[in-house]
Amino acid sequence: MKLPIFMDNHSTTRVDPRVLEAMLPYFTEQYGNAASRNHAFGWEAEAAVDRAREQIASLIGGAGKEIVFTSGATESDNLAIKGAAWFNRKRGQHIVTVATEHKAVLDTCKRLERDGWSVTYLQPAGDGLVTPEQVAGAVGPETTVVSVMLANNEIGVVQPIEEIGAAVKAKNPKVVFHCDAVQGVGKIPFDVEKARVDLASLSAHKMYGPKGIGALWVRRKPRVRIDPIIDGGGHERGMRSGTLPVPLIVGFGAACEIAAREMADEAVRVRRLRDRLLSGIQSRLDQVYVNGSLERRLPGNLNISFAFVEGESLLMALKDVAVSSGSACTSASLEPSYVLRALGIGEELAHTSIRFGIGRFNTEEEIDYVVDLVARSVQRLRELSPLWEMHQEGIDVSQIEWTNAH
Amino acid sequence: MAYSNKVIDHYENPRNVGSLDKSDERVGTGLVGAPACGDVMKLQIKVGDDGVIQEAVFKTFGCGSAIASSSLATEMIKGKSLDEAMQIKNTTIVEELNLPPVKIHCSVLAEDAIKAAIADYRKKRDGKQDPAPAGDEARAKSEATSEA
């Protein structure tokens, strides 16, 4: 077993060696510009890009021609929401989204609010989920865009996206339904037809592909139109100008093809590792809480709060393990995770949360190592914690009136 | 974020972890911060008859820098008189631990914890003067006031 262990697969993933191998010739041999229409280098590049479009689209039940390449999911989310909002601005200026969406969605919506749109931010239930009725209930005649993610990047909960799509379209068929599918695609089944989405954001590096390449899937039947945010040579049917990064696109395609083939088996294996991690931790520690629904969750996600132990101090003890924390101490804002807070989880528990992201390359041996290290570290830090001491003395920490506010 | 070696040392080998009897009249307890803010420090002192801090212990819920700041604080005040301990500034902790700007609040909290522990001790003594340190001037002062 090699240290450090990477268990932060929601932040990014290792490029699969098979993906890298597919990419390499496109750096050194077939380096043409896919937009060059008059020589073999260009034709070769274009053929490779078109093959990748098919590989990507078929993973989500779409057509290759519906793929618009972007620099990544942040750009895809921006293009989807701004593009659809601006294109449809004469029909209405209302957007519906969820408070636990990625910042690329939320901050895009905030920008549009400054430009005159109104936005409804739905609050999920304590398990992190929104209901189809809740989403449809917020949709009115003025609503032009609804954006709901497939799976959450912090707590891994999977929204009932197919039911949401059906409910939204039943309420207002003209709504453009966008789904940030980044964390879910390649991990769990996702079909743009079944979910009735019009726009879907994808990213390669969350699914063992390279960083720097993403896509927005844009429905053609019926045709969904968006305003571009990057103008130029008219690439990607005018929706996103800029020379295509062919090697990255080839890698993205290869990653999708592998995912399509191996996803079902991989999900079982990764889920088993996740369950082993959780039961191992629970067998050695009490006062641990899983954040968000455990049932409707990505196979590789585990987000837990270790009560009375501050998250960043725990990360420090886990220095051989790459994980992340919902604690705020790492940021200048001093605010703990907005996702956990939207679930109604108290700030004191939000500060104690750790996100484990298990992926393709993790092993059982690594899980066992992490369980042992986490258990020992939490025990040590609890011995250091005045809150744990109070808890042991039977004092309810939440009932104390604390004097300092930050 | 990269931590300084001194922060890591205090985090891995915290000095003076523990608790003292809160009800002891010679013990002062400071509890500062709040769980919702991600930092709670409990710092306790035990003051000798000579007015010198004999023991200082802490427990901290917080990031590595908060743990290190309180650990260092207990080291700094041990053997000092209460007035000397009151003079300790958070900036000394910042310099000693090489804390980056986002962690300065940890040192502020440690300073608050020292002051809160001393205030608690003094409150317990109900307005009585501190036991005097064993200096020449102080001795004279201590003769003037009767020891509790």
Two tokens at A249? 């696109």
Quick check: A348 and A398 in contact, CB under 8 A? yes
Q: Is the omega angle on the peptide bond into residue B133 within 30 degrees of 0, that is, cis?
A: no
Q: Are strands B53-61 and A288-290 parallel, antiparallel or unpaired?
A: unpaired
How distant is the Cα of B1 from the closest Cα of chain A, in angstroms?
Answer: 7
Tell me: pLDDT of B130 over 50. yes
- Could you report the per-residue pLDDT of A383-392, keeping only the tens digit for each? 999 999 999 9
The reply to whether residue A313 touches residue B59, judged by beta carbons under 8 angstroms, is no
- Could you report the per-residue pLDDT of B75-111, keeping only the tens digit for each? 999 999 999 999 999 999 999 999 999 899 999 999 9
Across chain A, mean pLDDT equals: 95
Among partner residues A316, A336, A398, which is closest to B38 by beta-carbon distance? A336
Closest by Cα among A103, A102, A137, A132 to A120? A137
With an 8 Å Cβ cutoff, is A268 touching chain B? no
Which chain B residues touch A330 with a CB distance below 8 Å?
1
- Pick the catalytic residue from A109, A179, A256, A329: A329
Helix, strand or coil, per DSSP, at residue A203? strand
- What is the reported pTM? 0.91
Two tokens at A341? 């807070």
Tell me: pLDDT of A121 over 50. yes
Q: Is the omega angle on the peptide bond into residue B14 within 30 degrees of 0, that is, cis?
A: no
Tell me: pLDDT of B32 over 90. yes
**In angstroms, rounded to a whole number, what is the distance separating the alpha carbons of residues A244 and A251?**
13
Tell me: pLDDT of B2 over 80. no
- Could you report the per-residue pLDDT of A267-299, keeping only the tens digit for each? 999 999 999 999 999 999 999 999 999 999 999
Q: Once rounded to an integer, what is the mean pLDDT over residues A351-356?
A: 94
pLDDT of residue B9: 96
CA dihedral defined by A106, A110, A113, A114, rounded to 10 degrees?
-160
**In angstroms, rounded to a whole number, what is the distance separating the alpha carbons of residues A136 and A134?**
6
How distant is the Cα of A312 from the closest Cα of chain B, in angstroms?
Answer: 5
Helix, strand or coil, per DSSP, at residue B53? strand
With an 8 Å Cβ cutoff, is A382 touching chain B? no
Burial class for B143, CB neighbours closer than 10 Å (0-12, 13-18, 19+):
exposed
Instruction: Using pLDDT thresholds of 50, 70 and 90, give the confidence band for residue A58.
Output: very high
Q: Once rounded to an integer, what is the mean pLDDT over residues A113-138?
A: 98
- Could you report the per-residue pLDDT of A326-348, keeping only the tens digit for each? 765 545 556 788 999 999 998 88
Task: Mark out the alpha helices in A60-102 (DSSP H runs).
Answer: 73-87
Tell me: pLDDT of B148 over 60. no
pLDDT of residue B134: 54
Which chain A residues touch B42 with a CB distance below 8 Å?
386, 389
User: Active-site residues of B: which are they?
Assistant: 37, 106
Angle value at C-alpha A325, between A324 and A329, nearest 5 degrees: 125
Q: Once rounded to an integer, what is the mean pLDDT over residues A258-272?
A: 98
Question: What residues contact residue B82 under an 8 Å CB cut-off, 6+ apart?
Answer: B47, B51, B53, B118, B121, B122, B130
pLDDT of residue B147: 40
Instruction: Using pLDDT thresholds of 50, 70 and 90, give the confidence band for residue B126.
Output: confident
Tell me: pLDDT of A82 over 90. yes
pLDDT of residue A292: 97
Which chain B residues touch A313 with a CB distance below 8 Å?
11, 62-64, 66-67
The reply to whether residue B40 touches residue A387, judged by beta carbons under 8 angstroms, is yes
* Residue in A305, A306, A309, A310 to test binding to B, most B beta-carbons within 10 Å: A310
**In angstroms, rounded to a whole number, what is the distance separating the alpha carbons of residues A72 and A31?**
21
**Residue A356, φ and ψ in degrees, nearest 5:** -105, 130
Instruction: Using pLDDT thresholds of 50, 70 and 90, give the confidence band for residue A322.
Output: very high
Q: Quick check: ipTM above 0.90?
A: no
Tell me: pLDDT of A372 over 50. yes
Tell me: pLDDT of B144 over 60. no
Edge to edge, the sheet with strand A288-290 lists A288-290, A301-306, A353-357, A324-325
